Structure 1
Amino acid sequence: MTISETMEIESKFEVDTDTPIPAADAFAPLLADDPVVHELSATYYDTADLSLTRHKVTLRRRTGGDDSGWHLKLPSEAGRVELQLPLDHGDDVPAEFVAAVAGLVRRRPLAPVARVDNRRHVVLLRDPEGTAVVEFCDDHVSTQSFVTGNANAEWREWEVELVDPSRPGARGHLDTVATACSSAGATTSSSSSKLARALGALPSPDDPGASAVRDALREDLGKVLDHDPAARRVTMVGVHQMRVAVRGLRSTISSFAEELESETEDTEIDLADLLEELKVLAAVLGKVRDIQVVDQRLEELAAEYPEDVVSPLTRKRLSDELASEERRAGARVAEALGSERYLDLLDRLHLLVEVAGTGSGSGPRSGAPAQSSKKRRREAQDMVLRGVDRQFAKFTKARTRTERDLDSLELTLAQREELTHVVRKRAKALRRNVGALRESDGLTVAPLRTACQRLHTVLGDVQDSVTARMWLRRIARRAESAGEPTFGFGVLFEHERGFSERALAGFESDAATVTAAYRELSESRRAARRRKTKSKKKGSGT
């Protein structure tokens, strides 16, 4: 069954029950149609722990109006992607929608969590040419929550949505209507959706702050799941962000493996196997991401040359070949994320979060006396700092070996790129740990964070260049076999080669900056300990 897809970009406003809607001329230059009234009723579905809601996903079955059906709304950069299927499934959630959120649901059942009834007054607003551009909705809402004591609620709100977000000037029209709403006495809604308001505040995770490791793992796993639905749809941002999150989670597990080993002894969790599974997943995501980056990179690079240098035939060959490769890589991503193997991995990761912090050295055990928030923050900071120390030791080892080889050997560009790629991976892992540190207690964190980001960006650009040249060689051979000219491929290849040479020229300086920044952080830690010791002595009167 074909799923219809639209981009939802809207603004929501809270209003009193007796607030009059803006007069028609308040929307000028937009022209208002006569209002139409719809009686809408929607049942929302979620897991028992509200996993969809926690990750800003809504799944509903709605009747009434001109878009009755099953609706699945997924977060995106621009707004929310809305997928829709007809009501042919009765009360059973369509299998297509279950598959789209399988990472969030796993093997758990979906059940009704709330009902939202809405008497909606719709005013369609048109531009001076008569094209519908904005839908203004005056909603009179009543809700029933099935998970918070069957609580009922009623309110009124205004919802302003773009009819076609891709239309030129669409955002400006939305701003015009939003201004009219504010002038009429409305205030920006404090809830992201009707469902969120119906459910109210969601329960916090168990024992937040009880273990720095558990909190870090929970946050990292949450990021993976946040981007799971978009990655399943093989969007460029979704795949990239999920790969970043998977690598971040893998880095956290590696950094705190010492603490986690004892806590997983009596479970089915094998940390080494878990890390390997995450590595495989990141690689699958990386294939399609690399192709997407190369496609965009080479398209922009080719545009810098005239057509007598990089011919239209060469550009088309590049575009067609990379598009075909992206489809194949995307199919592998969809297959991987739709597999039982991936669901098993998620089950083990959730179990790891549950057991983290239950052993010595990771925070207070369950049932231990509650600690002060200040002490918890200090323990969490110390835990992260130990992770930073471990990752810096790995970074230093890789940097020392690489600089030794660069100095002592006559290396090709490819060999230098391979050596520095190892340093990039270590710098990336260090950056993730540093990113969890706060500028508190006099710690000097910002220089190390900035230095890691700089080195990672430079060497990341080098790696993108390596990948681009690999594809240029591969596609050029295919073009040559087809009897096509390959001069343009050579021009692009040499451009990328020169880019990499220039980027690597500053490697040692950028790497040294990371080391200097780490020493600055270390000195600030020692100074903080001296201040603490001095304060204790003063407090004891000695």
Structure 2
Amino acid sequence: MVRVAERYLEREVKLDVDDAFRVPDLDDLAPPGGVLDTVQLTLDSTYFDTAPRDLLAADVTLRCRSGGLTDTGWQLKLPSGDARTEMRLPRGEGAGVPKELRDLTAGLRRGRGLRQLARIRTERSVYRLSDANGRLLVEVADDRVSATTLGDTAIISTWREIEVELADGGAGLNRTIVKRLREAGAQPSTSSSKLARAVGQLVADRPSPAAAAQGCTVGDLVLAYLLEQRQGLLTGDVDLRDGSDAIHPTRVATRRWRSTLRTFGALFEAERVSALDGELAWYAAVLGAVRDPDVLRTHLRGVIAELPDHVVLGPVANRVEQHLISEREHHRRTLLRALNGRRYYALLDALDSWIADPPFTAAAGEPRARAGKLAAGAQKKLDRQLRVAASHDDVEHVHRARKAAKRARYAFELAAPALATKAAKRRIAKIKVIQDTLGEFQDSVVATETLLRMGIRAGTSPNENGFSYGLLYALEQQRAEAVRRRVLDKLR
């Protein structure tokens, strides 16, 4: 696990302009007492990637820059919704990529070596709009760029572009400036980054969730959803290596992908579904082994705190805390080993393959309304599982109902663009309530298993007492039964 010194969330709009473009007057946008400053900079950046350009394929850039005001040194830029997360390190004395950044990008590049991909020089005119207190509101950069790609053949290119980077000015100010620039002749950028433009990669060449979701087939909607989940897994990969708390969102991305394979399985080749589902299940289990002790620790901490002092015999809270911390650390080490293993790299390659060439059947070409019908089928399965769970005491039936709730929820998330927006949101929210309720049941089931083991150990250890663990065990059983009854009441 590595720690990068600084993270920065970058929100910017890129626009293409020609040599004759004139930046419109922005002085009138300054608030009372505010100022518009202009700064001239020369930025020199060297970009790094693997030979097959793995980082660029993931919309990630790694560079070393000099000449900026604040953004100098090593920078790793990652997509983050409609923004980008920038991770920074000082330049240092060495010429190569720092070990911290090599470690962070190991999964993205599947362990392949990094090399220089391009050098880019930017002559930048920066318009910085600040308020009366000197707080930066927005920054407009007028860039004249010259780029040289490196490799067997050098490609030299030049262009001009505008970047509008939001600081503390709010989205309204940002929209006003972009509108003014558009009225002056600026156009939406055809590339996602300077590096992408330097190597000839256009926005239109890259599959994106937003673009795919506008398609007219059910396959388009499925691809849009899978693109989002793959990006979630890749972002989670870097965050996990950085030591960030990314277990839960990464695990959810694997669940959403698996749910799509199940609910929308008729759209895919069966053999490919089976192979990928097994590997996603493996990775989800590795992540879950780290996540579950955290959830249980938080839960039991609250339950123990509510017990009267006279029934807490011995250091129960401390024992539970230390046991679960130890369990988590054990599984975390297993996860870190897995993240650098061949099996995990093969899984990421498989996900890339699915995105590049989805193994669709002819059914994927049906109208997008088909997604709503398949989601409705997942809802029917959930309703059936809930009825079974409510009429049986078997824990497994409740567990199946919970899994069915997740699949139904994710199915409606995927199908939402083809459905009435408000109705889809209501359906998703309703299913989430059911999922959360059944999740409480699962928490209690897992808690009883842990408490039973700890109670047995305490009962056979000197100066320990299993009474409090037995009491907690009984309370968790009662809680699980109460949840089951709540489900039953909702079905009546």
Same fold (TM over 0.5): yes
Deviation at 1:469, TM superposition (A): 3.4
Other-structure match for 2:439:
460
Change (3 A) 1:154 1:213: closer
Deviation at 1:420, TM superposition (A): 0.8
Change (3 A) 1:434 1:467: same
User: Residue 362 of structure 1 aligns to a residue in which SS?
Assistant: helix
Other-structure match for 1:257:
265
More deviation in 290-299 or 187-196? 187-196
Q: C-alpha separation between the residues in 1 aligned to 2:165 and 2:430? A: 47
Q: Which amino acid aligns with 2:477?
A: R
Deviation at 1:503, TM superposition (A): 1.3
Deviation at 1:459, TM superposition (A): 0.5
Q: C-alpha separation between the residues in 2 aligned to 1:222 and 1:489? A: 43
The Cα offsets for residues 445-502 of structure 1, whole Å up to 9 and x where unpaired, read as 5665444323212111211222233334445556663735666655654543333222
Contact 2:145 2:160 (C-alpha < 8 Å) held by counterparts: yes
Other-structure match for 2:7:
7
Question: Which of 78, 82, 89 in structure 1 is aligned with 2:87?
Answer: 82
Q: C-alpha separation between the residues in 1 aligned to 2:228 and 2:117? A: 23
Q: How does 1:176-215 map to 2 (within 5 A)?
A: 178=169, 195=194, 201-205=203-207, 208=212, 209=215, 212-213=218-219, 215=221
Other-structure match for 2:75:
71
Find out whether 1:381 has 2:362 as its counterpart: no
Other-structure match for 2:65:
62
Question: Which of 347, 357, 380 in structure 2 is aligned with 1:345?
Answer: 347
Change (3 A) 1:498 1:483: same
How many residues align structurally?
457
Contact 1:9 1:80 (C-alpha < 8 Å) held by counterparts: yes
Change (3 A) 1:219 1:89: farther
Other-structure match for 2:152:
none
Find out whether 1:507 has 2:487 as its counterpart: yes
Deviation at 1:3, TM superposition (A): 4.7
Other-structure match for 1:540:
none
Q: How does 1:334-413 map to 2 (within 5 A)?
A: 334-356=336-358, 359-363=361-365, 378=367, 380-386=368-374, 388-389=376-377, 391-392=378-379, 394-395=381-382, 398-399=385-386, 401-404=388-391, 406=392, 411=393
Q: C-alpha separation between the residues in 2 aligned to 1:323 and 1:332? A: 14
Unpaired stretches in structure 2, ≥5 consecutive residues: 15-21, 150-154, 182-187
Q: How does 1:145-224 map to 2 (within 5 A)?
A: 150-155=157-162, 160=167, 178=169, 195=194, 201-205=203-207, 208=212, 209=215, 212-213=218-219, 215-217=221-223, 219-224=225-230
Other-structure match for 1:522:
none
Q: C-alpha separation between the residues in 1 aligned to 2:193 and 2:313? A: 53
Contact 1:114 1:143 (C-alpha < 8 Å) held by counterparts: no
Q: C-alpha separation between the residues in 2 aligned to 1:73 and 1:254? A: 34
Contact 1:420 1:459 (C-alpha < 8 Å) held by counterparts: yes
Contact 1:214 1:354 (C-alpha < 8 Å) held by counterparts: no
Deviation at 1:386, TM superposition (A): 3.7
User: Residue 72 of structure 1 aligns to a residue in which SS?
Assistant: strand
Find out whether 1:226 has 2:232 as its counterpart: yes
Unpaired stretches in structure 1, ≥5 consecutive residues: 29-33, 161-173, 364-375, 514-542
The Cα offsets for residues 395-443 of structure 1, whole Å up to 9 and x where unpaired, read as 4664555455x2xxxx5xxxx4332111211222222223323486789
User: Residue 505 of structure 1 aligns to a residue in which SS?
Assistant: helix
Contact 2:4 2:100 (C-alpha < 8 Å) held by counterparts: no
Contact 2:43 2:67 (C-alpha < 8 Å) held by counterparts: yes
Q: Which amino acid aligns with 2:402?
A: R
Change (3 A) 1:278 1:304: same
Deviation at 1:63, TM superposition (A): 2.7
Other-structure match for 1:276:
278
Q: Which amino acid aligns with 1:244?
A: V
Other-structure match for 1:240:
248
Change (3 A) 1:314 1:218: same
The Cα offsets for residues 50-84 of structure 1, whole Å up to 9 and x where unpaired, read as 76567664422123467753222446799836252
Other-structure match for 2:399:
421
Change (3 A) 1:158 1:210: closer
Q: How does 1:15-30 map to 2 (within 5 A)?
A: 16=23, 26=33
Find out whether 1:292 has 2:300 as its counterpart: no
Deviation at 1:505, TM superposition (A): 0.7
Contact 1:217 1:249 (C-alpha < 8 Å) held by counterparts: no
The Cα offsets for residues 210-232 of structure 1, whole Å up to 9 and x where unpaired, read as 75236414532541332334345
Q: Which amino acid aligns with 2:284?
A: A
Q: Which amino acid aligns with 1:456?
A: Q
Change (3 A) 1:352 1:229: closer
User: Residue 345 of structure 1 aligns to a residue in which SS?
Assistant: helix
User: Residue 431 of structure 2 aligns to a residue in which SS?
Assistant: helix
